Structure 1
Amino acid sequence: MTDDLLSILELAPQGDNRFRGRSFDPGWQRVFGGQVLGQALAAASRTVEGRGCHSLHGYFLRAGDPRASIDYAVERIRDGGSFSTRRVLAEQHGQIIFSMAASFHVEEEGGLEHQATMPVVPPPEDLPPESEFLAELLRHAPATAHKFWGRPRPVEIRPIDIGAYLRRDGASARQATWIRPRIDVKGDAVLARIVLAYASDLTLLDTTLLAHGRWVFDPTLQVASLDHAMWFHRPFHFDDWLLYVSESPSAHASRGFNRGALFQRDGSLVASVAQEGLVRTVGTPAAWA
């Protein structure tokens, strides 16, 4: 799957403003939300020149079938003097599974400037490699998790606090994780945004669950992303680690809300993310294995 990510994000033209993306089996019953995000952004980006995406807002409407391709239709809403707006609908088996609006902006000089401060955390080189983290995780995990985590991933993750994934008494509703793609984005600014959109869905909803000592493979929970918003603040290179800091300010009525910030090593805030997810309790959690 690691080598396949670029081919998954490279869509096949299907006529005017229409594209087709193939799926892969992520190890569970539905398409990984980050794949749909990345492909939808790739489709919208194919219809815009000279402007980079600065924001996107998407809704996950139905679970995607990992055994079938996905068709993306792009509507050119507006091309203004400095902004372009696109709407993307993703269709599978004759039904819309995802909708997204995205805005693109000409890179401008000047203006006001400030940003949030990156937290002080250990660098990724001082943390255990992902293989150690996954080995410990899978030692306690149900069989349903092994297919998903027991294979090479296109984005490497190194959590600052591995123990947060193992504690059943709950952890802080805040976490930080270093992330880095295992693929070459070739210094391509458009591709870097697309791959970061893909990666932004990896650990975000976990923040709600970890606060309660639960995780996405808990058989007593029904968990799914409901929406996803993302803002790209500054140019960045995704050929090195980014720190993904996320928090969950609220969980209520079977919905968990999460927001995240992505920093380069030099402290530059390059993107922000917000997502609400379905977190529905369907039983009593079992003890860890």
Structure 2
Amino acid sequence: MASIEDILELEALEKDIFRGAVHPSVLKRTFGGQVAGQSLVSAVRTVDETFRVHSLHGYFLRPGNPTEPTVYLVDRIRDGRSFCTRRVTGIQDGKAIFTMSASFHAEDAGIEHQDTMPSVPDPEELVDAQTVEEFANTELYQEWKEWDVRIIPSDAVKPIPGIAAQQRVWMRYRNKLPDDQVLHICTLAYLSDITLLGASKVPHPGVVTQTASLDHAMWFMRPFRADEWLLYDQTSPSAGFGRALTQGRMFDQNGAMVAAVVQEGLTRIQRDQNKNDIETGNMA
């Protein structure tokens, strides 16, 4: 499979128009994290380097075809002294498959606080899924073999009273990445979609659902590296009518909260409960 650097490398076709290449995939639909990551790269390329992306809000409009390239059209909505805003539309076959708004900030001095990172086992104490034959040979884990994903067992997750569903995952990119914070941010946009919707399925073991990301929002708080361990603390406060709301907080190993994510996804009951559906590729 392609490296994250290759996936996030875009071709400039014209001013504010970019194209993402086709990469091998076992998925029937283009992975949502790939579209989000590439969209963010295209937006970043139109903003002065003195600005850093602090948030993005995206909607998955149509399923993407993983065998076709995606073209990204960037609209320069605003260029201010402190903030810049970009709108990106991902196009395949003349139709929009994804739209994103991204906001950039020049950064200022201000108040500071954050939540405390949950107490969890260290990633080194957990099993690397790639070393477990039953997982390593599956198509989904082969899709993301460049990622070290270690789901914390449910018996090691202390239940929080009143929380409907929760899941915690350690994640990192296996290979060393360049010292480019923009690359790490766009990489995080990619990985943020891998396991999040799975948090909604924790209270429903054995129930097969048709899943797809519907919308995705992220906020970036502090510098981090995507090739170092990040704890993805995930919850699903509500599910119903074929949709589930999920949210996550990301911490580095020093306890700094580096990002927050909110996503709504399709979780429609699969009519054929024995069907192996890997259309969207959401792990867990």
**Match of 2:153?**
161
1:24–1:31 contact (8 Å) kept in structure 2 = no
**Match of 1:229?**
217
- What is the percentage of aligned positions where both structures have the same residue? 46
User: Deviations for 1:165-221, whole angstroms, at most 9, x for unmatched residues?
Assistant: xxxxxxx71011110012332111100100000000000000112221147xx3xx2
1:107 matched to 2:107? The reply is yes
Give TM-score, length-normalised by structure 1.
0.87
Deviation at 1:159, TM superposition (A): 0.9
User: Deviations for 1:105-133, whole angstroms, at most 9, x for unmatched residues?
Assistant: 01223x11111110011111111122245
**Match of 1:59?**
59
1:26–1:148 contact (8 Å) kept in structure 2 = no
Pairing partner for 2:239 from 223, 239, 251: 251
The SS at the match of 1:258 is strand
1:82, 1:250 → 2: CA distance?
36
- Give, as a single letter, the amino acid of the residue that structure 2 aligns with 1:79: D
2:134, 2:146 → 1: CA distance?
20
Give TM-score, length-normalised by structure 2.
0.89
2:220, 2:174 → 1: CA distance?
21
1:7, 1:251 → 2: CA distance?
35
Deviation at 1:45, TM superposition (A): 0.3
Deviation at 1:258, TM superposition (A): 0.1
- Give, as a single letter, the amino acid of the residue that structure 1 aligns with 2:62: R
1:70, 1:287 → 2: CA distance?
29
**Match of 1:98?**
98
**Match of 1:169?**
none
**Match of 2:280?**
none
1:25–1:31 contact (8 Å) kept in structure 2 = no
Deviation at 1:104, TM superposition (A): 0.3
What stretches of structure 2 of length at least 5 have no aligned partner? 157-163, 277-284
What stretches of structure 1 of length at least 5 have no aligned partner? 140-145, 165-171
Pairing partner for 2:174 from 172, 182, 203: 182
2:129–2:135 contact (8 Å) kept in structure 1 = no
Deviation at 1:5, TM superposition (A): 2.1
**Match of 1:265?**
253
Q: 1:69 to 1:286 in 2, by over 3 A?
A: closer
1:11-26 paired onto structure 2 within 5 Å: 11-26=10-25
Q: 1:121 to 1:189 in 2, by over 3 A?
A: same
1:79, 1:214 → 2: CA distance?
49
Deviation at 1:156, TM superposition (A): 1.4
**Match of 2:121?**
122
Q: Which moved more, 1:185-194 or 1:233-242?
A: 233-242
1:126, 1:199 → 2: CA distance?
22
1:238 matched to 2:230? The reply is no
2:143, 2:150 → 1: CA distance?
16
Q: 1:282 to 1:177 in 2, by over 3 A?
A: closer
2:90–2:96 contact (8 Å) kept in structure 1 = yes
1:206, 1:32 → 2: CA distance?
15
Q: 1:287 to 1:229 in 2, by over 3 A?
A: closer
2:237, 2:274 → 1: CA distance?
26
2:77–2:87 contact (8 Å) kept in structure 1 = yes
